[in-house]
Amino acid sequence: MDNNAIVVNGLTKTFGAKTAVDEISFKVARGRFFGFLGPNGAGKSTTIRMLSGLLRPTRGEAWIEGRPLRGDLLKIKEIIGILPEELPLYERLTGAEYLVFAGRMYGLPRVETRRRAEELLEFLSLAEDRDKLIADYSMGMKKKLALAAVLIHNPRVLFLDEPLNGIDPISGRVVTDLLRRITSKGVTLFFTSHVLDVVERLCDEVAVIDRGRIVAQGSLDSIRSQRALGRDASLEDVFLKLVSADVTREDLSWIG
Ligand SMILES: Nc1ncnc2c1ncn2[C@@H]1O[C@H](COP(=O)(O)OP(=O)(O)O)[C@@H](O)[C@H]1O
Ligand SMILES: [Mg+2]
């Protein structure tokens, strides 16, 4: 098998007349912290939902760890974890119950599930709240718990859709430290965000998507040089240059 965890070839999704994702192609090497960046409505969630088997592509193909998306989806679901934008939490369970449920769903033995659940709760500073109902968790706590639940079966590729939205800086730090540790163990992270500085701080490589098309891909340095921006250009400069071509700033004449 080659060194790529994710290979995407001409992947397309249309919803009626709307092309949400338009013939995108890219590769992500194993162990990368890959940032998928773009403005609202660009097609990030649609892409991640196709790659994780939640949404059937209209056209194109992708391989996750060499396994075709259009083949046996169960084979893919065994080795991936997906954190969707809308968290799949059962609010009437406690945090600890939810993690045990997640582990058991993946067929982990009971004792091993409990061991991993306790370690994850401890690591994510949720141990004190382990017996609280999820309904009473804050947004940041819910994100951390959902992340713990996708890690419990030790996935090789993790898809994270806006994982840091709504998280305070301290929890954000805990989560990003955890994500870094995970990539250092050879797990591949595919991470969407519209928050530029987060992507800039964390990701080894990025792809920028705008209106369903990939408009740039590579390391930040290579994107800067392709776009003839200085080495000290921030990702924000690059991003604005790439995606804002027809952003017209209406001046809000009726205000004031
Ligand atoms: N189920 C759907 N039905 C119709 N249109 C959709 C659906 N899901 C997404 N879209 C449209 O596809 C485009 C891309 O959406 P999305 O992938 O959610 O963008 P992003 O995650 O980058 O903000 C948007 O224009 C959105 O309105
Ligand atoms: Mg989205």
Indicate whether 119 and 132 sit together in one domain: yes
Give the pLDDT of residue 36.
Answer: 94
Ligand nearest to the CA of 84: 2
Indicate whether 162 and 226 sit together in one domain: yes
Give the pLDDT of residue 235.
Answer: 64
What is the total count of domains within the chain? 2
Give the pLDDT of residue 55.
Answer: 95
Over the chain (256 residues), the average pLDDT of each successive run of 10 is 90 97 96 92 96 96 95 92 87 95 93 96 93 92 91 95 83 84 90 82 89 90 68 66 59 74
Ligand nearest to the CA of 21: 1
Q: Which of 18, 36, 159 to mutate to test the pocket of ligand 1 (most atoms within 8 A of CB)?
A: 18
Indicate whether 14 and 127 sit together in one domain: no
Which ligand 1 atom sits closest to the C-alpha of 212? 14
Give the pLDDT of residue 165.
Answer: 78
Give the pLDDT of residue 200.
Answer: 81
Question: Does 249 fall in a domain?
Answer: no
User: What do you get for the CA distance between the two ends of the chain, in Å?
Assistant: 62
Give the pLDDT of residue 115.
Answer: 96
**In angstroms, what is the span from residue 85 Cα to ligand 1's centroid?**
12
Question: Does 172 fall in a domain?
Answer: no
The 3-state DSSP class for residue 203 equals coil
- In terms of residue numbers, what domain contains 24? 1-79+156-167+186-244
Instruction: Tell me the β-bridge partners of 81.
Output: 158
Which residues line ligand 1 at a C-beta cut-off of 6 Å?
Answer: 15, 18, 20, 38, 40-46
Indicate whether 193 and 126 sit together in one domain: no
**DSSP 8-state secondary structure symbol assigned to residue 127:** G
Give the pLDDT of residue 68.
Answer: 95
Question: Does 47 fall in a domain?
Answer: yes
CB 155 within 8 A of CB 80: yes
Give the pLDDT of residue 103.
Answer: 95
